[in-house]
Amino acid sequence: MTRTVLSSATSEVVIGFDEPFVMIGERINPTGRKLLTAEMKKGDYSRVEKDTLAQVAAGAQMLDVNAGIPLADEPKILAETIQLVQSLTDAPLSIDSSIIEALEAGLAVYQGKALVNSTTAEEEVMERVLPLVKKYNAAVVAISNDETGISENPDERFEIAKLIVERAADHGIKREDVVVDPLVMPIGAVNSAGRDVFHLVRRLRTELKVNTTCGASNVGFGLPNRHAINNSFLPMVAQAGMTSAILNPLHDGLVPAIKAGDVLNGVDPNCAEWIKAYREPTPEGEGRGGRRRGRRRG
Amino acid sequence: MTRTVLSSATSEVVIGFDEPFVMIGERINPTGRKLLTAEMKKGDYSRVEKDTLAQVAAGAQMLDVNAGIPLADEPKILAETIQLVQSLTDAPLSIDSSIIEALEAGLAVYQGKALVNSTTAEEEVMERVLPLVKKYNAAVVAISNDETGISENPDERFEIAKLIVERAADHGIKREDVVVDPLVMPIGAVNSAGRDVFHLVRRLRTELKVNTTCGASNVGFGLPNRHAINNSFLPMVAQAGMTSAILNPLHDGLVPAIKAGDVLNGVDPNCAEWIKAYREPTPEGEGRGGRRRGRRRG
C-alpha cells in the first residue's frame, strides 16, 4: 500500500493505491499562454491568482506550478509564484521546471513537502535533481525516458522507471516518494498508446509498487472532441492502477469522470464524496436533511 | 480471439475482443414505462418505432427487444415487435424474455442470427433455453446466477458462468455463442461492485475466453448524477475486457464515452470511427458533404 504524502504548511494530500485519485491542476503554466507569460514576466500574478482559486474550487487537490518563460529570471518568478499560491490555498504543490536553479529556488521558499516535477533517467538530470529532492525532503516525478529518448516499448519504459527508483534509493529517497510518469503518447499518433499505458501502469503498480502520474491533457491531441477522449482516459487509466494526474480540472466533465472512477474503483467509501459533490439541492432546508438521511445507505 | 457474430437479414455485427464495443439499445422494453406498456398491449407500436430509430441514430449497433407486459399475450406482442423493428433497421436484435414461449415466438419470426436474452445457470432455465438457442442457431446471454441467487463472490460467479458455457457445449452451442453477463450490482449498495466486475470480466476474458455483456444502467442506481457514474463505468469495464453492454444510447455523454474507450483500447484503428463521428463541420457546403459521405459506413 504505497502512500506518497505531500503537504503544505497546514494540509496533507496522500497519493496512494487505496486513496481517491489525486488531480494536480496544470493551469499555472505560461507555456503556450501569451498573456500569462507577459504578465508573469513583469511580476503581475493576477491571472495566477485566478487560476489557483478556480482549480481548487473545481476539485484539484494539488496544483502544479511552472514559470518556464524564455529569457526571464525563472528562479525568481517561480519562487514568487509559489509564495503567492501558498498564500491563497493550502493545497500542496508540484514544483515544475527543467532548470535546476528554479527547482531549488522554489523548494527553498516552499512550505511543506513538495512534489518535484521532474527527473528523467538521463544521468545528468538524475544527478542534479535527486540530491535536491533529498535535501528538501520532497517527492519526485520520475519520467520514464533516458538519453535515447522515449521507448515505444512499454516494458522498456518499465525498466527505465525501475532504474530511477533504484537511483533515488541510492540518494536516500524512498520508493514511495518516487511517482512514476509512464509517458502517455497522443492516441491519434500512436494507436496503441492507451493499451501501452494501461499495461505499463499495471506493472508499475503490481511489480514496482510505485504511485503513478501523467500529463493527461495530451492523449487526445490532434483529434476532434478531444476532451471526451480525456474524460474516458482518466477513469480507464485509474482502473488500470494510476493514482494521480496533472490535468485541467476546469475541462467540462473531467472532474465528475474522475470522481465516478473513484466510486467504481472502491476508493470512495459509501460513495460519500460523490454524494457530497452531486447531491441535488432541494428547495426546503428541512427536505435536504430528510433526503440526506434517506440516501445515507445508498 | 473470440467473435460472436450476430446478424439481421442484411447486416452483421461482431462482438469480439478486437472489435469496437457493441452497444445494445435497451429502450424497447415496457418495464417501468406505463405509456409504452398500454400502447404495446393494444397493438400500438408507434413508440417502439421512435425508440428503434432514435437508438440506431444515436449509435446502437444492436437493439434489445422486450415485451414483458403482465397479463398480455407476450409471445404474440414480442413477435410483432420484432417484425416491426426488423422492418425499420438492419441492426441485429437481442430477444429478451423470461417466458420460453415468447422467446420461441420471437425466434420463429426473426430474420438472421439473434442474441437470446437470457439463460441463467438454473437447471430448469438452461434446459429450456439452450435447446431453443441451438434449434434457431442463435447466441445466448448467460447470466451468472443459479438457484441459490447471485453470489457476492466474483470467483463463484466465474464458476457459474463456466458451468453455463459447458452446458451450452453439451447442447452443441459453441463457446463464442455464449455471451456472459457477470452481473453488475448497484455501486451505492455494494461498494466493491466495480472492482468485483472488473476482476470477473478480466477472468472471463483471459481464462474462459468468452465475450461479456451487462445491463449497464443500474450501476449508479440510487446515487445523484447517476449518468456520470455510467459514463465512467462503461470505458472502465471495457478496459477490463468487456465487449458489449445493454444500455441507453440516448443518455447524455454515454456514446462518446464508449467510443473514446474504443479509441483508447486500440479497437478503433487510426481513430477512424472517432474522427468520422466527431469531426467538426466546416462552414463550406463542400466540407459538409465530405462529412456525410464519411458517415455513411458508420
Q: Each residue of A66-114: pLDDT tens digit?
A: 999 999 999 999 999 999 999 999 999 999 999 999 999 999 999 999 9
Whether chain B has a CB inside 8 Å of the CB on A208: the answer is no
Judged against a pLDDT cut of 90, whether residue A273 lies above it is answered with yes
* pLDDT of res. A292: 39
- CA–CA separation, A238 vs A224, rounded Å? 23
Contact list, A253 vs chain B (CB under 8 Å)? 228, 231, 253
Tell me if A232 and B229 make a contact (CB, 8 A cut-off). Answer: no
What is the structure's pLDDT at A289?
A: 39
Q: Looking at chain B, which residue has its C-alpha nearest residue A230?
A: B260
pLDDT for the residue numbered A282: 65
pTM over 0.90: yes
Please indicate whether, in this complex, the C-beta atoms of A260 and B186 are within 8 angstroms of each other.
no
For the stretch B106-117, pLDDT in tens is 999 999 999 999
Q: Which domains does chain B have, with CATH numbers?
A: 3-275 (3.20.20.20)
Q: In the structure grid, which three cell numbers stand for residue A248, read together?
A: 485541467
pLDDT at residue A164 tops 60: yes
pLDDT attached to residue A205: 98
Start-to-end CA distance of chain A, whole Å, equals 28
| Residues of chain A neighbouring B278 (CB-CB closer than 8 A) | 223-225, 228
Residue pair A251/A229 in contact (Cβ under 8 Å)? The answer is no
Tell me the HSE value of B179 on the side-chain side, using a 13 A CA sphere: 30
Beta-carbon contacts below 8 Å between A and B: 134
Closest chain B CA to residue A222: B275
Interface check A264 vs B, CB under 8 A: yes
Closest CA to B212 of B242, B175, B177: B242
What is the model's pLDDT at position B287?
A: 41
Q: With a cut of 60, say whether residue A124 has pLDDT above it.
A: yes
Q: Which set of grid coordinates corresponds to residue A98?
A: 527543467
Q: Report the pLDDT value the prediction gives residue A280, as an integer from 0 to 100.
A: 80
The predicted model gives A138-164 an average pLDDT of 96
> In the sheet where A139-143 sits, what is the strand order?
A211-212, A178-181, A139-143, A115-119, A93-96, A62-66, A22-28, A244-247
Predicted confidence at residue A4, as pLDDT, reads 98
Q: Please give the single-letter amino acid code of residue A190.
A: V
Give the dihedral sign, CA B5/B11/B13/B19.
positive
Measure the CA angle with vertex B53, ends B261 and B51; round to 5°. Answer: 90
Looking at this predicted complex, what is its ipTM? Answer: 0.92
Please, which pLDDT band fits residue A290 given cuts at 50, 70 and 90? Answer: very low
Q: Report the Cα B278 to chain-centroid distance in Å.
A: 24
pLDDT-derived band of residue A293, with 50, 70 and 90 as boundaries? very low
Q: What does the pLDDT look like over A15-53, one tens digit per residue?
A: 999 999 999 999 999 999 999 999 999 999 999 999 999
Min distance B259 CA to chain A CA atoms (Å): 9
DSSP per-residue codes, A27-65: EE--TT-HHHHHHHHTT--HHHHHHHHHHHHHT-SEEEE
User: How distant is the Cα of B277 from the closest Cα of chain A, in angstroms?
Assistant: 9
Give the CB-side neighbour count of residue A12, counting CA atoms within 13 A: 7
For chain A, the average pLDDT equals 94
CA A176 – CA A168 distance, rounded (Å): 10
pLDDT, position B99: 97
CA A32 to chain centre: 19
| Residue in chain B lying closest to A198 (CA) | B239
Q: Please answer yes or no on whether B232 and A235 come within 8 Å at the CB atom.
A: yes
Pick from B229, B265, B280: which is nearest to A263 by CB?
A: B229
In the block, cell 467473435 appears at B3
Nearest-CA residue of chain A relative to B271? A188
Q: Give every residue of chain B whose pLDDT is below 70, as ranges.
A: 282-298
Looking at the predicted structure, is the pLDDT value of residue A159 above 50?
yes
Q: Whole-angstrom Cα distance, residue A200 to residue A182? A: 7
Query: From the list B233, B261, B269, which residue is nearest A264 (CB)?
Result: B233
pLDDT of residue B284: 55
Q: Please name the residues in contact with A170: beta carbons below 8 A apart, sequence gap of 6 or more.
A: none
Q: Do B275 and A223 touch (CB under 8 A)?
A: yes
At A284 the pLDDT is 55
